[in-house]
């Protein structure tokens, strides 16, 4: 865990090499980070957990990584709250879906047990409009931690 105070020590603008950048995966749920640490250790790709709505420290870390040239891949929960968080992050920074599109949802919804109903007000998913349509059609909520196996496969590459 990194605090905002720790991140504020980085000078503006970011000095090259002061915060490693490259491919960085972003997840919503801390369970993903814990599983990656337990199963992959130092073989894991760079991974940042925003823990739901990003905190000030989360935003600062992402800002520093972006300034250092990071390319982001984002994954979140397949529910309307998760889609809202993803839209917020996408509003402030560029990212590509990391197993967070309609194909990944369909696969996860087909395997998810127990099935939970998708509740709440639907939102658009501009990174993949078919995702929102698939979620509305199936009406199944898939928590991020139910996709751990697929996420860990990508993180280990």
Q: What is the mean pLDDT of residues 118-141?
A: 97
Which pLDDT does position 14 carry in this prediction?
A: 46
- The predicted-structure confidence for 69-105, as pLDDT tens digits, reads as follows 899 999 999 999 999 999 999 999 999 999 999 999 9
Tokens read off for 64:
């520093």
| Helix pair 102-111, 129-138: axis angle to 10 deg | 20
- The predicted-structure confidence for 57-76, as pLDDT tens digits, reads as follows 899 889 889 988 899 999 99
* 6: pLDDT strictly greater than 60: no
Task: Encode the chain in three state secondary structure.
Answer: CCCHHHHCCCCCCCCCCCCCCCEEEEECCHHHHHHHHHHCHHHCCEEEECCCCCCHHHHHHHHHHHHCCCEEEECCCECHHHHHHHHHHHHHCCCEECCCCHHHHHHHHHHCCCCEECCCCCCCCCCCHHHHHHHHHHCEEECHHHHHHHHHHHHCC
Sequence spans of domains, the chain: 4-155
CA 10 to chain centre: 24
**Is 18 or 148 the better-scoring residue by pLDDT?**
148
Percent of the chain with pLDDT over 70: 86
* 16: pLDDT strictly greater than 60: no
User: What pLDDT band is residue 41 in, cutting at 50, 70 and 90?
Assistant: very high
* 5: pLDDT strictly greater than 50: no
Average pLDDT taken over every residue of the chain: 88
Q: In 10 A of CB 76, how many CB atoms?
A: 25
How is domain 4-155 classified at the architecture level of CATH? 3-Layer(aba) Sandwich (3.40)
User: What pLDDT band is residue 144 in, cutting at 50, 70 and 90?
Assistant: very high
């Amino acid at each position: 865990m990194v605090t905002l105070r720790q991140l504020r020590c980085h000078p503006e603008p970011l000095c090259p090499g002061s915060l490693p950048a490259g491919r960085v995966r972003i997840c919503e749920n801390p369970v993903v980070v814990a599983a990656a640490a337990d199963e992959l250790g130092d073989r894991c790709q760079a991974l940042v957990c925003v823990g739901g709505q990003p905190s000030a420290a989360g935003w600062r870390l992402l800002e520093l990584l972006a300034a250092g040239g990071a390319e982001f891949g984002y994954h979140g929960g397949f529910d309307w709250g998760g889609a809202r968080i993803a839209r917020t992050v996408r509003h402030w920074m560029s990212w590509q879906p990391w197993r967070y599109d309609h194909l990944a949802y369909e696969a996860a919804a087909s395997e998810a047990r127990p099935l939970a109903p998708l509740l709440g007000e639907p939102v658009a998913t501009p990174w993949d409009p078919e995702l929102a349509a698939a979620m509305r059609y199936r009406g199944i909520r898939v928590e991020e931690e139910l996709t751990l196996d697929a996420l860990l496969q990508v993180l280990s590459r």
